[in-house]
Structure 1
């Protein structure tokens, strides 16, 4: 009887450990659009490819991929080992664990998070050869709100997006999902003056499925195609009150939406020639237009 009880206990403990993985269970996947000067699509995804125990901690390997139009496939960029405990997410670097997200943070908290060193798609700060340790990049939580995903309420943490020191923002953070910026660990550390800064597209772990509405989770090269980019003109950019589009007669637009950097729907309409944006705050926004032939036109603009 004792061996059976021992095995049953061990099996239960393993299942409890697995069930605690709400951020990065095996096969979980995030998709993002990275920064691109011409808004042609910089497709990035992160997938939990395997698991490994480090110091008795059940960790997950997240592999980052970047889409290659030349190879017509996803190219592996780098991997990051993460561990989640007490609703916090840590990454492993140089034999130590560093905090990446705190999903228990409250409004007014400053989370002392870190950025991985020289990890390509996982690093949002610059890298110097003499820097061997992760960079401290604290983020300040302005408010904590809620969003419904698959019938369950999740916290969203709103952090500053402008007017602060560089490398101290992760955009809007969703509980158990992470940053809605341009990558898994947040925003990159440079000022985007032209083009599309990029943002979160979707997350799926087999149980939880969430799309930001910014792009379709299945979208790849059909978004922001070069011919459309060249043919459709958006002006002025930056704009203050009115946004105008010059659309050739050969292109039929059946509707549009305007999204903020967090993927939230702000405006919608059908008349694409002139759009009143006077109610929008200052910042970067995205105009997403649906074409009659099923294609999607995406263009960023700056409200000043």
Structure 2
């Protein structure tokens, strides 16, 4: 590795992604599950988009939000996984400074977008269960489009300072990033100056972005649970709660590793580096893989449209 990787530069033209430090000997084997995960992400989310697009009975707010989630998952995983596999298979570790900034921006902006879509889906469930007679008049096509646009704009704007914060710091120590992709805190930790602004803004996004989303999701489900417990029979309660189960599973799969990854980056200095990196990858790759599986298995309407497709293929 050249000397420029360690000393004597302020704005490196490239960064070096180490991948998963400490597990280099297992890269060939690690690439197999990651590649399978990516295939599932692509197939699962494209199938969701295909079914909703060509099945008129699924042209409803819930499934439009699901399509937004599928698109977000595709972008989120594609922004990191191909480069990760190139590190594992071809030892292609270099990434241009501009490409690093772009990757960093896409990861953070689409992560916030996904959080906003989960909040929108919680609102859809709240209206459908607590005010079912007005569901179609409250969540019209125009309103759904505005909600999706608001989630996209919020994610785009709130992540916009990240690349500017990364660009403003001098990098005089090293350009080696101990990760599989460019993540904001991993990049700014290489800077020579005081990075407290970057760290504080990252916490602001975590609490005022995703934290507020979780708050509103929780408020929606408190109202949903109150409505469910007012139902007269156990079967009715279970049936209504079943319509929310897939959304709850997807929420847990997204937020738990996300918050765990964010907190371990800042406060888990005693943890092994490969553990930090693996948790960061779980957060970015597992939810996009699980979401189409969860909704495909748990949502009756999608399952009914999906099964004939495969049975026709077999005959």
TM-score with structure 2 setting the length? 0.24
Bigger relative contact order, structure 1 or 2, given CA contacts below 8 A and separation 6+? 2
